[in-house]
Chains A and B, each alone.
Chain A
Amino acid sequence: MKRVDTRRLALAAAAPLLAILVALALTTIILLASGDPVAAVWAQLFKVPLPRQIVAISNEAIVLYLSAVAVAIGFKMNLFNIGVDGQYRIASFAAAVFAGAHFLPGWLNIIVSILIAMATGALWAFIAGVLKVTRGVSEVISTIMLNYIATYLVAFLLQKAAVKVEGSNATSTAVLHDDSKVPNIDVSGLLGTPRQVYGLLVLAIIIGVAYWFVVNRTRFGFDLRATGASETAAVASGVRVKKMVATSMVLSGAAAGLVGMPLLFCQDYAYGDTVQSGLGFAGLAVALLGRNHPVGMAFAAVLWGYLDQLSNGLQIGAGVSDKLVLIIQGIIVLSVVVAYELVRRASLRIDQKRVGSAEVKSVNKVEAVAA
């Protein structure tokens, strides 16, 4: 029995690897077709990252991981929260305005600001939740629309809240005082680079553990998974699905609110019009590749960060646009969906075979007894 389970585990690991291989193969074909130097491209992308790149990969992974968890909370219930993008931006903005005002001293300012970000993200997602529960509006549509609203709402409000900085055209909220910055982690002893890893790595780890614990160990998490696995069975088991939809949208939004926090407290120290966008969509991809698993998503986030960072050298090293990486990432997501479905069927077959042979065995036993 142990042996079969190991095989199933191997199958589960095989899926993302297979997807990555397929993506590499297809990308090679694309490169060949467009007459680009295949070898040079792969040499560039498969370089061992430099120390500063390793730090950049980790930092990107931290942010992507938070985004992926936000998406995964929805995925567990078959909810597609496409709105993580809007949720984190409006939440970051709210937190940046509050933190920049320095009503509270030091750490208290940081913690309350983070809570405000969570509350804002939750509220923004709750709109989609309410629309779905009361009016049956698909959360896919409403969150996409809310993304647009968030984009322009934030741009509009940023004009009002912006602090003019001498000699710069950038609009941005007030910059944090030093006591409201989260100290970063010095890795110069380890990697020999002055670059630092976001201190809010801690936040990502806490969120990852909390996500695992709530989903797998609590009654609420069971209801959540049951609803995702079969809404009809969940209803019959006493789950109030509408309440669950609203709750999980709120939780997803709250997690989404955290996405911008490492940027705010560890890097930019303000929210401006240059803030990174698209993290919500990258989170969708990472959650898919990591299969909503707390550890799987961490690997996926690192892979995403790795590809992004090493693509920077593509233009110079191989004369190919760094956009190539987006193609690779896209193909990985597509093929991983297919690969997971194949694995799902394979493990179903393994189960059926086990059940089948157990039934045969028990039948044989009965016959032996009868004889």
Chain B
Amino acid sequence: MPSVPGPTCRHTAPPRTPQCCRPRRQSLPSGSPDEELTIPSGTETQAHPAPSDAGTPLAVELQGITKRFAGVVANKDIDLLVRHGTIHAIVGENGAGKSTLMKTLYGVQQPDEGTISINGQKVVMKSPTEAIKLGIGMVFQHFMLADNLTVLENVVLGAEKMYGIGDAARAKVRAISDEYGLDIEPDDLVEDLGVGARQRVEILKVLYRGAKILILDEPTAVLVPQEVTELFDNLRGLKAEGLTVIFISHKLDEVLSVADDITVIRRGTTVAAVDPKTVNARQLAELMVGSALPSPQTEESTVTDKVLLTLDGITLSGGPGRRNVLDDVDLVVHAGEVVGIAGVEGNGQAEVVEVIMGMREPTSGTVTLQGTDITEWSVRQIREAGVGYIPEDRHRHGLLLESPLWENRILGHQTQAPNVKGALIDIAGARADTERIVKEFDVRTPSIDVTAGSLSGGNQQKLIVGREMSHAPMVLVAAHPTRGVDVGAQASIWDLIKDARRGGLGVLLISADLEELVGLSDTIWVILRGRLSGPFDPDVVTREELGSAMTGAAGSAGDKPTAHSEAGEVESR
């Protein structure tokens, strides 16, 4: 049974600012492109009185947008109505067509059918440059900043003609930062900034170019809860200044807490326009997925006292004069246990994985697998010894994107049956086993001869999970196993991990998704600047406590674990 996607487990919506109290009707799911969405006028009660809706044209209006790619329909009859001066969320599973829609809105690609109106004017945008001219700005999920340049340099890059590159530009950056409360210092080096600040720089870049309509692609994916709150304050600030924000997400709690309107996309088409006040996260998730969600199940603990993997005093030097990337990390994974590591990205998670997998040699400390010191072993020896690996970045570390699926099934297990016979590749064996994985793990593909790069993220990940599980690992190192995969694939990957854990697998789960960590882990540690704090008991710890430990806020959050929960102690859940 697929388990419930994270956000429905815990609903922690901050108080919403009461501002739009108007009836809204939820349209029926899809099918009828001409269906009219009634947008009743709302009453804006803010310091900056936005013009009343009645007379104001919609900031963005999409009608019947259809986009096909070589026979595949990515968007079909998309209708989107975004009111002026609001935060409008577009939600949908990964692969539902959100990014195609966004690219259409930003002029990266042109729709095959349908019309786009900006501020009541029908427009055709042939490039992002034209979109920018129309006042549309886009903040990408992956920041596009040059680390070795200052904020100012990054902001003026490509927009030198607007205010030059000197004091006029600096003044403008300061002015925008002050006006919207972005708290950005133009002469700071970007490499010194945290993730939240970098995102604000991206927003500032867009505002600098005169955007009045901002599109944010999954802006919270890289943020910890506290930073999300700050971001949302910023967004409300933008709205108060009369700007329009379109915000793409699949984190429903967040959407419900900040959005004024929500449009749901499923399988390439808009299925509903809903009022955040009339739905809860669960209903929204069901609209996204298109079917009722199963209830979360409580799981019996399967943790044993059999030690599988031990990290003992692992330290990784960051080079002379720099702090250690990993600092005295101790960790134990038992058979049947899922040990979660939470943390803001870049705090040493990747390095922990690299040390375990043998890709990096620790400066000091030992890694032990079932009593054997494997610190000095090569990646191949470690993998052969039974450590499965789901890499954080499947495109860079998990797959050969331009090779067929069956060759990808060999990858990482080049020395093991059924992939090889002696020094030769067993093509027939590998192909047959790839067929099995495709069937068993529900990898949606027409053939095992297509390239891995042409599969969707979820199917790629299922292939990787299937591959790793096929070699009966003793320990599974899973870094962000469900990042960028759709809800269906996510649920099945979670189930696989749970099943394997029941079978005695030890799992080290690194994730940025707190719901995933809390839902799967038996023990949670938090990593901050290369040091572990915890352990935390996932049954009692709150998001805020984890968030504080992740940011190092509230003094020594890590020193006061919320519950007894010695690592590995058998807990009943």
Contacts and interface: CB of A to CB of B under 8 A. Distances in A.
Contacts, number: 126
A352 interface: yes
Interface residues of B, number: 50
Interface in A209-234: 216-223, 225-226, 229-230, 232-233
A365 to B, nearest CB: 11
Given A219-B424, A222-B410, A232-B396, A351 B380 contact: no
A369 B447 CA distance: 22
Contacts of A217: 424-425, 427
Given A351-B454, A352-B72, A235 B444 contact: no
B283 interface: no
Interface string A326-357: 00000000000000000010001111111111
B450 interface: yes
A353 B70 contact: yes
A354 B398 contact: no
B229 interface: no
Given A219-B420, A362-B444, A357 B398 contact: no
A235 B459 CA distance: 23
Given A222-B425, A230-B400, A353 B72 contact: yes
B425 A219 contact: yes
B348 interface: no
Contacts of B398: 233, 236
A5 B459 CA distance: 22
Contacts of A220: 423
Interface in B450-480: 450-451, 453-456, 459
Nearest to A213: B424
Interface string A231-250: 01101111110000000000
A226 B407 CA distance: 9
Contact of B379 (A237, A349, A362): A237
A358 interface: yes
Given A229-B403, A236-B359, A219 B414 contact: yes
A238 B414 contact: yes
A184 to B, nearest CB: 35
Q: Among B389, B400, B447, find the residue whose CB has the most chain A CB atoms closer than 10 A.
A: B400
Contacts of A370: 291
A28 B346 CA distance: 57
Interface residues of A, number: 39
Contacts of A236: 357, 359, 379, 389, 391, 397-398, 412
Contact of B412 (A216, A238, A359): A238
Q: Among A216, A222, A358, find the residue whose CB has the most chain B CB atoms closer than 10 A.
A: A222
Given A353-B70, A354-B446, A354-B447, A237 B455 contact: no
B359 A226 contact: no
A80 B314 CA distance: 39
B424 A355 contact: no
B476 to A, nearest CB: 14
Which 4 A-B pairs give the minimum distances between C-beta atoms?
Answer: A238-B380, A356-B72, A351-B454, A358-B446
Interface of B: 69-72, 267, 291, 357, 359, 378-384, 389, 391, 393, 396-403, 407, 410-415, 420, 423-425, 427, 444-447, 449-451, 453-456, 459
Given A238-B380, A351-B453, 19 more contacts: A218-B425, A222-B425, A230-B400, A230-B401, A232-B397, A233-B398, A235-B379, A235-B397, A236-B397, A237-B413, A238-B379, A348-B453, A351-B451, A351-B454, A352-B72, A353-B70, A356-B72, A357-B71, A360-B72
9 contacts: A219-B420, A223-B414, A229-B402, A233-B396, A235-B359, A236-B357, A351-B450, A355-B456, A358-B446
